[in-house]
Structure 1
Amino acid sequence: MKLSTGRGRGIVLSALLFVLAGCGWFGGTARPSWIDGGSPQFPSAQYLVGVGQADSRPQATEQAYAAVSRIFKAEITAQAKDWESYLVVESRGQTSTERRLTLDNVTRVTTDKVLENVQVLDTWFDQKTRQYYALAGMNRAQAEAAMVERLNELDRTIQTEVTEAHQTQDKLSRVRNLKRAAKNLVLREAYNTDLRVVRSNGQGNASPHRVAELTAELEQFLAKNLLMAVVLSGDQAEPLERALVDGLTQEGFTVVGGGAGAGPAELLITGSVRLWPIEVNDPHFRYVRWCAESVIEEVATHRVVGALSKGGKEGHVTEREAAAKAVRVMQQEFASDLARSVAAHVYGERDLPASAATPSGCPKEAVQPPVSR
């Protein structure tokens, strides 16, 4: 059956439009000038671009986006020294928590926002080399408007936090507001760095606050007004106490002597440690069980603000080695977790557990003699 003339022309026209729409990927046009670093269609004064090249279309597109991303990452890394006083404190320790703000976190957060303004502007396929090319970029004016709006929002938040920190009489409230303000200011400065990249004149919007100044104010206030004391008892309490003091110091706190010397402290951390051998049906290893528990209270009011308990079992070829391993585990799992939990409470990010249940397998009192040292 023959097609009508009108219908046949429609099919031909549709096919032609399809070919033209995809001609960039199939090499139907000459090599675009943007591949070699310039394009009258996307001038650098109006567009910030990146070029990707790969064996497949998705890979070329991904590389083009990555090329744009690298421009911003490089600039943020170059500016990071201004935030070093804050970032160094936040990256201490080996375990990442929600509140930690490292340079990688900052870069990832801002880059994700930047890429929201990036799109594929053009594509081309080289028939000879069988390579795909993609041009990704952003309109500078549109991206600038979005970034300025974000900066203004952060400026309002930071100013509110700083004002509340300076007006409150509550010590914890002051610490928490200063901490939040410093964290938001790091993000704000990262966005401002992005803005300088987007603007062809390289200018950003200055902030009335500086990260180093807020961080220094927070550290000074903590050192003078929020001292801590640690008192642990029991077998192997000394190495655990040292680890806890180190952890609290890394979190930015000053630890004073415990017991009668805890007078100037705001928070007192007391606890006990137990370590004893257990019988396990294992001809090759000896085992010990450990338990550690702590209570955190306000010195002035004797109000308990939280508690934490942990326990476990460790084995080794000898009882002495099993005990040494248990001490290391206690330092990592109990002391480090306790220091981070106290810091999270002070900074207002997470409440301490109101009470601590005895871990499974850990009696209230050790009924067997402690491990010999």
Structure 2
Amino acid sequence: MMLRKIIYVSIISFLISGCAHDARKEYSGADYPSSQYLTATGIGRSESEARNQAVAGISRIFESRVYSDTMDRVKSVVKGSGNEVSEQSIESNIRVVSDMELKGVQVDRTWFDKGKGVYYALAVLDRSRAGDNWQSEIRNIDSSIEGEYQVLNKAGSRFERYMALKKILKSWLQREVIVSRLRVLGFTRKGTPSYNIRSVFNMIPVLKSQMLICIDINGDYAKKIRERLSEALAGSGFLISNDHDKADVLITGMVVVNPVELKNPGWEFARATVALSVIDRKTGSIVGEITQNARAGHITYAEAVQMAVKKVSGPVAGQLLGYLEE
């Protein structure tokens, strides 16, 4: 009888341990040698959280290296061009591009640790496959930039040339981020582009210093918005002109303020709405549109109006700068 119990307990223990091992599917480094794969393990209270953490772990391998490598490359090109561009704008663009999702990352397996009560996930990136994909992306970007140079050469106005150059620069920054990712994997870029990016860094500040912007906004509170836009644009290096006929770019629009009815006794509310159009004066084309609104409340309607106008002025200026700078 005792022998039967021992055999029974042994069988049950074997089955439990075997099932637990299968459920966890624990990761062995031999499955994915570092020479061929990048791996990261994520931990979470749920399987989805563990998966997200694993993918984020792969991204973190690239983040700091890609950003620093790309900035170093930009600085070397800027130094060689002899001109300065907005470092803040460049940094912003690099961060946006470098934060883009890494293609090719896969979550290979997940498992649950009953003892700790947490999930694990293993994310994997095949070095060779990712390298081939990124080489292809770089070739596509180079082809796109060459096409954008043709648009630049056909541009009929100073503003068109400026925006074409900004588009080329943005594409090139995307390219350099991918080149940096290749370096993280231990690969180098194959081939040399036919264009000279230093010419872009040369031309952007020159055009910016020559391009006149006229702000023509209507409405009872247009003056405050106009002053805020002028301050923001001038602070970023753009030239403001009051001469409509000499301007390269016209910023036109309206400021409208309306009362807002809310069930809040003793308080008055107002909403300020700003709608702007960015116009290439030479071609007459509307090349951009911006709309922002903000609501504010106070015990008097007049003060609520002032607060709403002030509140909306910042986002409008930021959106306009974002359009012109990025």
TM-score tier after normalising by the smaller chain length: 0.5 to 0.7
Alignment of 1:1-373 (within 5 A): 23-26=21-24, 34=29, 39=30, 41-53=31-43, 60-82=50-72, 88-89=88-89, 101=93, 103=95, 105-109=96-100, 111-115=101-105, 118-120=106-108, 134-166=121-153, 168-199=155-186, 203-205=188-190, 208=193, 214-224=200-210, 226-232=211-217, 235-249=220-234, 253-256=238-241, 258-259=242-243, 262-269=244-251, 284-286=266-268, 303=284, 305=286, 315-332=297-314, 339=320, 344=323
Cα distance in 2 for residues equivalent to 1:295 and 1:128: 61
Contact 1:295 1:304 in 2 (8 A): no
User: Contact 1:193/1:204 (CA < 8 Å) preserved in 2?
Assistant: no
Gap regions ≥5 residues in structure 1: 1-18, 93-100, 350-373
Deviations 1:90-119 (A, max 9, x none): 788xxxxxxxx461x32332x33242xx45
Of Structure 1 and Structure 2, the greater helix share is in: 2
Q: Does 70-79 or 165-174 show the bigger shift? A: 165-174
Instruction: Check whether the contact 1:265–1:299 (CA below 8 A) recurs between aligned residues.
Output: yes
Query: 1:311 Cα shift?
Result: 8.1
Change (3 A) 1:272 1:91: farther
What letter is aligned with 2:200? L
Higher CA-based Rg: 1
Per the TM alignment, residue 136 of structure 1 is displaced from its structure 2 partner at its CA by 3.3
Per-residue deviation, 1:187: 1.2
Deviation at 1:71, TM superposition (A): 0.8
Number of equivalenced pairs: 298
The amino acid of 1:149's aligned partner reads S
Paired letter, 1:219: P
Partner residue in 2 for 1:363: none
Q: Helix, strand or coil for the counterpart of 1:284?
A: coil
Deviations 1:191-212 (A, max 9, x none): 111111222xx53457646877
Partner deviation per Cα, 1:123-170 (whole Å, 9 max, x = no partner):
777787677655432332222111111111111111221243145444
- TM-score w.r.t. length of structure 2: 0.67
Q: Helix, strand or coil for the counterpart of 1:48?
A: strand
Following TM superposition, by how much is the alpha carbon of 1:328 offset from its aligned partner in structure 2, in angstroms? 0.8
Which letter does structure 2 place at the counterpart of 1:164?
V
Question: Amino acid of the residue matched to residue 148 of structure 1?
Answer: Q
CA contact (8 A) 1:65 1:136 kept: yes
Gaps of 5+ in 2: 1-16, 76-84
C-alpha contact (below 8 Å) 1:228/1:253 kept by paired residues: yes
Separation of aligned partners in 1, 2:46 and 2:258: 62
Cα distance per residue 1:339-360 (max 9 Å; x no partner): 36xx75x79x9xxxxxxxxxxx
Amino acid at match of 1:222: K
Distance 2:248 2:314 in 1: 25
Q: Do 1:89 and 1:250's aligned partners in 2 also have CA atoms closer than 8 Å?
A: no
**Cα separation, 2, equivalents of 1:239 and 1:127:** 62
Q: Secondary structure at the match of 2:102?
A: helix
The 1:91/1:255 distance shift into structure 2, 3 A limit, reads farther
Give 1:233 shift: 6.2
Q: Give the letter for the 2:133 counterpart.
A: A
Please, what is the CA RMSD of the aligned residues?
4.7
SS at 1:113's partner residue? coil
Give 1:368's aligned residue: none
Identify if the C-alpha distance between structure 1 residues 211 and 317 changes in structure 2 by more than 3 Å, giving closer, same or farther.
farther
Separation of aligned partners in 1, 2:276 and 2:112: 66
Q: Which amino acid aligns with 1:165?
A: L
Amino acid at match of 2:60: R
Q: Relative to structure 2, which stretch is displaced further, 122-131 or 172-181?
A: 122-131
